[in-house]
Structure 1
Amino acid sequence: MVHGVAFGDAMGAPVEKLTAAEIRERYGRVTSLRTAWHRDGQDEDQRKGRVRGNGITTDDTAMTLSLMRIYGAERRHLDAWDMASGMVREIAWESRWVPELQRKAPLIERLFYPEKWIFQRLQLAGCDPRQGGVGNMVNCGATMYIAPVGAANACNPAAAYDEAINFASGHQQSYGLEAAGVLAAAVAQAFVPGTTLDEVVRTAHDVAHDGTRTAIAEIVAAAEELARKGADADEVTDEFHRVIAPFSPMGDDVVHGPDKAGAASAAYQPSRLLSIEELPLALGFCITARGDFRQAVVDGINSGRDTDSIGVMAGAILGAMHGSSVIDAEDAALIDSANRLNLAADAGHFTEAVLDILFEDTARAADIIAQRETLITKSERSAAE
């Protein structure tokens, strides 16, 4: 799962914010981590002092690793207060190597405004953690790093959804929060031994609400028809963008600037009719790729727009479902070296924390079953009397 997040992120990062047509014109088709960033050659101000390409990951992976460390420290299920303490600490008060900045820094120096909101709202404003997401720009920011919640609730999608909603309510609201719950549930289902992609997708649809549920249903229907027809990647992308348009305010122009201060920015406000587009699209590309890990990620990041987050979501789901078979040794080595990481070690430490949580859950469930059996026996005896 962790490799899937980092791989999807690093694959999508060089072409993020380009349209599908621009990717085709500039690259033909991106199929390798060894891809130059489309902004290479621009001056430092235009690049905002950042570098990308050739395996470098973004804030999607950095925040996923932050969430894994919070689980490692707490070794229990999380809630909004852990967003206010653990995630604030991770993004604002800890300095780590930030690959895009090529230096050690607090992660908040790299984050986009909706993710900086975590610090501004929960520490500077000091609000109730459960209300932390209220007022934030609705986007995919909570969903892009939420996969570890699915692992901490492996094989229990309903619990994963609930915990993701509880935790991420300190960051996001409305359909941005809803998508985080849905992705966590999908990842939890992906860990079920012998599960199928159909079951994972059905779980995502069934736990979802409002516009998110409708968007998933429509993308899934389109994906199944496209897969049946054997549509090529460009046809899939065009149809997905047509289907998702009524639910997503994003469109092809994903650059935020002063020209978006009016009606366009209002599109990112709470709504029961809208959906982030990254999650339904990721599910759709999993379907058209027939569950193939690499193809789903490659197709997703070549569709343009928020490419890294689409790659992260498809990679997390299929990584969890297929296991270590998705890990290509050369890709893993490049990701580690480009980002000064040891993802296998990070995943190992996280797994230890997850196993502690799962063992405790299992013991608690056994106690509840025993207590209920006693209660039922007493109730039956009382009724008989």
Structure 2
Amino acid sequence: MDTLQDKATGALAGAAVGDALGGAAEGNTPEAIQARYGGFIEGIVPPFLEDWRNARPIAPYHKGDGHITDDTLMTTALVDVYAAVRDHLDAHAIAEHLVPLLIGDKRWIPELESEALLLHRIFLAEKWLVTRLHYGHIDPREAGVGNIVNCGATMYVAPVGIVNAGDPDAAYAEAVDIAGAHQSSYGREAAGVYAAAVAEAMRPEADVDSVVAAALRLAKDGTRDAVAAVAEAAQGISDWRTGLAELRRAVEPFDTVGPDYRAPARDARIPSRTKAIEELPVAIGLLIATGGDYREAVLGAVNYGRDSDSIAVMAGSIAGALGGLEVVPAEWIAGVSEGSRTDITATGPVIAAVARDVWAADAERAARVAKARSAFAGAAA
């Protein structure tokens, strides 16, 4: 396996593993997680709620038992869009290619234990894509306006970072464009910063410090402030098992959801230039606190609770991109693939092949621009 394919597969399999492990803990506090599982989660566990089908009627999902969630389903769908277009994407590509997948393509949905449309699994903030783009015919570049501001557009843009491997600036710009169809404000900004972090992590010489530096350089407004605050707090944490509360305290001033994740505050998830989604800064903080160790960063995200699956997706994809497939525990890959009835290593080679095609097209475009600009040099002489 070449380096590009190895790092791409590490990023996407690493994200899927984090997603599956974190799904069981989602929405709960670290204390509740430890009480339910008799200590910290250390791998694949059964659902937090034994009567998962009826406990939360609005979300009758079988989380746990190695089941991937909508984070991975959406990531895979975005890889499929890239495989069809084989070029950079924009908000219009989301309308033209992703939305038809959501409403017309039945797939195995582990949390539903059946084949179904992706539309029937994605949650309300993601259904917005279909409502606005398919039914509302809104300009894709503006369709995200009015949606709740959350991590929905961020959780699945790791493929953008892979296609733009080694170029965080390009990844940021592409992800911000794509996310305009889904999110606004700091929800859109986080998508750009996360894609940039993955793009930097894909660079062979990258490390945690360079990933953090790229994120801080590109992030704007409250997102930058939140990443900076959590990064500073994480520098003083040597073990996530004793540092989760410190990470939460660092991100809390920027988080609009509030202390009770299941009962958001009145001003939750509205556009703001001073706030940030919680998931990305915490994921970066855990990468710093663990030195980029895949297993420890993901377990820290899982046991943090709250939106633990998305935090683990972000931490897992960046750590997986940094270290390649070998850093993702083989037993977790096997367990999640079996539990989800999905080969979670299959998308890595696909997006790596797409990336090579995109880079070839980029080279042709750059050559045409260089040729055109050379005429100006001749004219000046």
How many pairs align?
A: 369
- Work out whether residues 24 and 63 of structure 2, in 8 Å CA contact, stay in contact via their aligned partners in 1: yes
- Quick one: which amino acid aligns to residue 90 of structure 1? L
- Work out whether residues 172 and 195 of structure 2, in 8 Å CA contact, stay in contact via their aligned partners in 1: yes
- Quick one: which amino acid aligns to residue 32 of structure 2? E
Cα deviation per residue 1:323-380 (whole Å; 9 max; x = unaligned)? 122233322222222222123333222221121011211332244344434533442x
Q: Does 1:4 align with 2:14?
A: yes
Distance of 1:252 and 1:293 partners within structure 2: 28
Distance of 2:53 and 2:143 partners within structure 1: 37
Deviation at 1:18, TM superposition (A): 0.7
Per mean C-alpha deviation after superposition, the further-off stretch among 356-365 and 103-112 is 356-365
The one of 255, 261, 282 equivalent to 1:248 is 255
- Work out whether residues 153 and 188 of structure 2, in 8 Å CA contact, stay in contact via their aligned partners in 1: yes
Q: Does 1:57 align with 2:57?
A: no
Distance of 1:342 and 1:50 partners within structure 2: 20
1:235: which partner in 2? Answer: 242
Distance of 1:61 and 1:265 partners within structure 2: 30
- Quick one: which amino acid aligns to residue 373 of structure 2? R
1:111: which partner in 2? Answer: 122
TM-score (norm 2): 0.93
1:218: which partner in 2? Answer: 229
2:83: which partner in 1? Answer: 72
- Quick one: which amino acid aligns to residue 39 of structure 1? L
What SS is found at the alignment partner of 1:335?
Answer: helix
Q: Does 1:159 align with 2:159?
A: no
The one of 106, 110, 129 equivalent to 1:99 is 110
- Work out whether residues 195 and 321 of structure 1, in 8 Å CA contact, stay in contact via their aligned partners in 2: yes
What SS is found at the alignment partner of 1:325?
Answer: helix
What SS is found at the alignment partner of 2:107?
Answer: strand
Q: What aligned pairs does 1:11-90 form with structure 2 within 5 A after superposition?
A: 11-27=21-37, 28-33=39-44, 35-41=45-51, 44=54, 46=56, 48-90=59-101
What SS is found at the alignment partner of 1:212?
Answer: helix
Q: Sequence identity of aligned pairs in percent?
A: 42
Stretches of structure 1 lacking an aligned partner (at least 5 in a row): none
- Work out whether residues 252 and 305 of structure 1, in 8 Å CA contact, stay in contact via their aligned partners in 2: no
Per mean C-alpha deviation after superposition, the further-off stretch among 236-245 and 60-69 is 236-245
2:298: which partner in 1? Answer: 297
Distance of 2:220 and 2:60 partners within structure 1: 40
2:326: which partner in 1? Answer: 325
Stretches of structure 2 lacking an aligned partner (at least 5 in a row): 1-10
Cα deviation per residue 1:5-55 (whole Å; 9 max; x = unaligned)? 10110110011001011112222001112x011111455353643212121
1:360: which partner in 2? Answer: 361
TM-score (norm 1): 0.92
